[in-house]
Every structure is written in C-alpha cells, then in structure tokens.
Amino acid sequence: MTRVLAAISGAGGLIALLLAAAQDSTGPLAVRAFGLLVVLAAMLWLVRPVELSKWPSTVVAGGLSTVGAVLLLSQLDSITPAAGFWGATVAAWALAWLFVERLASIESRRQLIAWSLRLLIPLLFGVWLLVIWELCTRGLGVPQVLLPSPSAIGARMVSSTATLWADFKQTFLHAVLIGYALGCGSGFLIALLIDRSPFLQRGLLPIGNLVSALPIVGVAPIMVMWFGFDWQSKAAVVVVMTFFPMLVNTVAGLAASGAMQRDLMQTYAAGYWQTLFKLRLPEALPFIFNALKINSTLALIGAIVAEFFGTPIVGMGFRISTEVGRMNVDMVWAEIAMAAVAGSLFYGIVTLVERMFTFWHPSIRN
C-alpha cells in the first residue's frame, strides 16, 4: 500500500508540475514547486523503499501534505483550479494518507506516545476530510445551496453563536439528557424485575420487542399530543427509544455469569442480592455500557426528529426544518455539525466512564 500511495503522489505531483498554467502567475508557480518536491520525494521512496520504514520519510510525508493543503487552500481565491491544481490535490491527499498510514504502523510502549497517536490519527483524518471537502466544493464551484463549504459553515457558526446555544440547550440539555436518564434508568430497573420474575421475562420482553419496532415518526406526534410542544414531549420520545436497548442488554448481561461462578457464590451462602451486586452486576457492566453508548446517539437522533412534529421556536430539529425551507443550508449544516460534536463528546464521556468501571475487562486491558 505504501508503494501505491507513493506512486499516486508522484503522479499527481508530475501532473501539477507539467500542467500548471501561466508561469508568470504566483499561484501556478507555487503549485509547480510543490509538484517538483512531491515528484522528488516519490522517486526517492520508490527507488529506496527501505527508507519508508524510517521516521524521516514519515516526517517528509506529513510536512509535504501540510504544505500542499495550505498552498491549495490559499490559491482557491486567486486562480481558477485547472488540471495542475487537481494534480497537486491528488498528490497532497496521497501524501496525507501515506503519513497517517505510517503513523498507524508505529508501535510504542510509552503510554504518552501511544495515547498521542490514538488521538492524532483520527484528528488528521477528520481534518483532511474537511480540506478535501473545501477544495472540491469551491474548486468545482458547487452551489452553496446544494453543499456549502466548511469555511461557510464555520462562518455561520461563529455568527450564530447565540442561536446555536439556545437550540443546544433546548434539545440536548433538556430533552436528550433528561430522556436519556429516564429511559436508561427505567430500562435498568425493569431488567432487574425481569431477572427476578420468570413471568415478567416471558411476558414483558415480547412487549418490549413490539415497542422497539414502533417508528419514531409515528411515536413523536403522539408524544407531542400527550406532553405538549415543549421539551417534555421530546424527552418522552427519547425515553421510548432508549428504554429497550438498555432492557435487552441488561437482561443479557445479568445472564452472562457462568454456572460455576453462581454455584461458588451459593457455597459461600450468598443470597440473591449479594450474588447480584458482587458477581452478576460486575459481569453485566460491559453489556450495560454497550447499551449506554448505543443510547447516547439514539437519544440525540430521537430528540431532533421529534422536534419536526411540533416544538417552540427553538431547538435543533426546529431550526433544521425551518432553515431548509428558507434555503439557508449553511445554517442547517451548522446545526448538524453542532449535533455531531455534541453526540461524539457524549459518546466519548460514556466511553471514559466505561473504562473507569470495567478496567478489568479484556477489551479494556488490550
């Protein structure tokens, strides 16, 4: 794969070197210079592949990809993107891929370096997705109403901070968090009752399956009629969406402990509650946190979709549906970006808490 990426970057650099137009223009001359550097680096890597396994080649790939990204983004307003420009784009993208691949192959026993690499690799990947998005939308002249560029979305987020914060507070801090807590908590408690009662296990789980199959577009209007147009109805939708994953995972987790382990607890004269808290709940923690992570994304989706069916003049879902009608697509993407960041941070917090409580599990130790 490394040879292929080096060849792709060299081909893109050669195209940029040969086809950049108007030598008296600063932009194309800079693109040509970048293409020449990429071609030389690619030739060195292809002739001496042993160098690819060393740190200098990794640093060169990262440096050239960064220079290429900065150069191309700076030229978008001064030149018309042509074949040379897109050749440099392909070269910079291949170098970035090569750089990330080399970083991913590094294995270090130092925790600081290993942790830094785990954070840096997805960050670089995300940044380059935004760079390619910016280059394609602006370079190809994509209409902003179809797909705005990341720079336009970022400018809208900066200029609409107060509106975004009000929507975030209404949707996430009220509907999502409260509905998430109620849905996960009730699912956990009902799972304990089901585990205690075979009758409930046979009678309630099928009903739970039925409820989980209900479409959100059918549940949301009913909840709005029952609980009103404010955040309470959205929290009720979140409760419905998060209840069943927690119920099923907790029931499965409580049954995960082995028969020999339960027999050992009986030989120690442990009762039901002692066995539950000392053996079965610890064994069920990976299942419970799996449900919590699933629900962290389901809750946000449910709250946003529920706001399409009736809400005050605030909220992420309300803003998305309203601004689409006004053709303010950059504001729609700003709301989507804020929801994505909030959902990712929520998921990450749950994952960190999971590592604290399940540090003994093989999946965490490895």
Residue 7 has pLDDT above 90, yes or no: no
- 24 falls in which pLDDT band (50, 70, 90)? very low
357 in the same domain as 276: yes
> Is residue 148 included in any domain, yes or no?
no
Structure tokens at 119: 């954070």
Number of domains the chain is built from: 2
> Is residue 35 included in any domain, yes or no?
yes
Q: How far apart, in whole angstroms, are the C-alpha atoms of residue 257 and residue 278? A: 11
328 in the same domain as 275: yes
337 in the same domain as 287: yes
33 in the same domain as 137: yes
Average pLDDT over residues 6-30: 65
Q: Which of 71, 114, 121, 68 is nearest to 95 (CA)?
A: 68
Out of 94-98, 176-180, 318-322, 331-335, pick the least confident.
94-98
Average pLDDT over residues 141-152: 86
> Is residue 150 included in any domain, yes or no?
no
Q: What is the predicted pLDDT for the residue at 213? A: 73
Structure tokens at 59: 């640093």
Q: Which of 96, 95, 89, 99 is nearest to 16 (CA)?
A: 89
Give the pLDDT confidence of 269-290 residue by residue, as tens digits: 667 777 777 777 888 888 999 9
> Is residue 94 included in any domain, yes or no?
yes
176 in the same domain as 134: no
170 in the same domain as 306: yes
> Is residue 310 included in any domain, yes or no?
yes
Per-residue DSSP letters for 282-348? Answer: HHHHHHHHHHHHHHHHHHHHHHHHHGGGS--S-SHHHHHHHHHHTT-HHHHHHHHHHHHHHHHHHHH
- E strands, 236-325, where? none
- Cβ neighbors of 338 (< 8 A, separation 6 or more) are 157, 164, 167, 168, 316
83 in the same domain as 205: no
Between vectors from CA 319 to CA 316 and to CA 320, what angle results, nearest 5°? 85
Residue 176 has pLDDT above 70, yes or no: yes
Residue 87 has pLDDT above 50, yes or no: yes
Give the pLDDT confidence of 35-44 residue by residue, as tens digits: 777 777 777 6
Out of 16-30, 95-109, 221-235, pick the least confident.
16-30
Q: What is the predicted pLDDT for the residue at 291? A: 92
Average pLDDT over residues 90-117: 78
Final residue belonging to a domain, choices 86, 109, 142 = 142
Q: How far apart, in whole angstroms, are the C-alpha atoms of residue 302 and residue 241? A: 7
Chain centroid to CA 198? 39
Bigger pLDDT: 147 or 83?
147
Residue 67 has pLDDT above 70, yes or no: yes
Bigger pLDDT: 333 or 257?
333
> Which CATH number is 200's domain given?
1.10.3720.10
Q: How far apart, in whole angstroms, are the C-alpha atoms of residue 67 and residue 238? A: 46
Q: What is the predicted pLDDT for the residue at 19? A: 64
- 350 falls in which pLDDT band (50, 70, 90)? very high
Final residue belonging to a domain, choices 88, 110, 142 = 142
Final residue belonging to a domain, choices 93, 119, 142 = 142
Query: Secondary structure of the chain: what % helix, strand, coil (to 5)?
Result: 85, 0, 15
Average pLDDT over residues 219-239: 85
Contact status, residue 5 vs residue 96, Cβ threshold 8 Å: no
70 in the same domain as 126: yes
Average pLDDT over residues 53-82: 74
- 137 falls in which pLDDT band (50, 70, 90)? confident
> Is residue 129 included in any domain, yes or no?
yes
DSSP 54: S
Bigger pLDDT: 300 or 257?
300
130 in the same domain as 176: no
b/e 48-62 (16+ beta carbons within 10 angstroms → b) = eeeebeeeebbebbb
- Cβ neighbors of 81 (< 8 A, separation 6 or more) are 135, 139, 140
303 in the same domain as 231: yes
DSSP 313: S
Q: What is the predicted pLDDT for the residue at 366? A: 53
Average pLDDT, the chain: 80
125 in the same domain as 269: no
Q: What would you report as the CA-atom Rg of the chain, rounded to the nearest whole angstrom? A: 27
Supply the range of the domain harboring residue 319: 157-365
304 in the same domain as 257: yes
Which of 16-20, 110-114, 174-178, 254-258 has maximum average pLDDT? Answer: 174-178
